[in-house]
Amino acid sequence: MNPDRNPYKFAVKLGELFHYIADYFCRAHNDPELDPGTLWEKTVHIFHEWKLNQVAQNLHPDFFKKELEEKFVYRNKLETFIEKEHQEFLEREYSFKNDLESAFRICVLMTNKLVYEMQLEENYSFAHIFNLRHRLLYQNA
């Protein structure tokens, strides 16, 4: 999909992708005890996501910045990178803050990787630096 030809459709698809990835990095979607099978389990699942939103409102905007600066995603396959990050997520201590940090981090790093890959496809002449036009397009998507 070319974001230059249809930026709205690209933004919608990117939003869907990030929604599923964020769920993948959330205990409510990884813990069998929170699997929404019965009415009680659905209630617990909804409470977990509500509590997650409460914690998110109190986080500093740069709470995961250091992590981003230490991860190098450009030379890894996207699938391998996501699975490695997910395994690390599951090994960390259970907390709402960990859910948020992990979901935000993977989405930002995935964005970097996807933009980089699209730029390679378009034969841009630079390796790891995004041009201003595309940076603005993807920031506003």
Domain limits at 17? Answer: 7-33+64-139
What is the pLDDT confidence band of residue 87, given thresholds at 50, 70 and 90?
Answer: very high
What is the pLDDT confidence band of residue 117, given thresholds at 50, 70 and 90?
Answer: confident
The pTM for the full model equals 0.62
**Looking at the domain assignment, is residue 39 inside a domain?**
no
Q: Number of folded domains in the chain?
A: 1
Residue type, 99: D
Separation of alpha carbons 130 and 109, rounded Å: 14
**Looking at the domain assignment, is residue 41 inside a domain?**
no
pLDDT at 78: 80
Query: Token digits for 58?
Result: 């109190």
Residues 6+ apart with CB under 8 A from 78: 110, 113, 114, 117
**Looking at the domain assignment, is residue 50 inside a domain?**
no
Read off the pLDDT of residues 45-74 as tens digits, 9 standing for 90 and up.
677 777 777 777 776 666 666 655 555 666
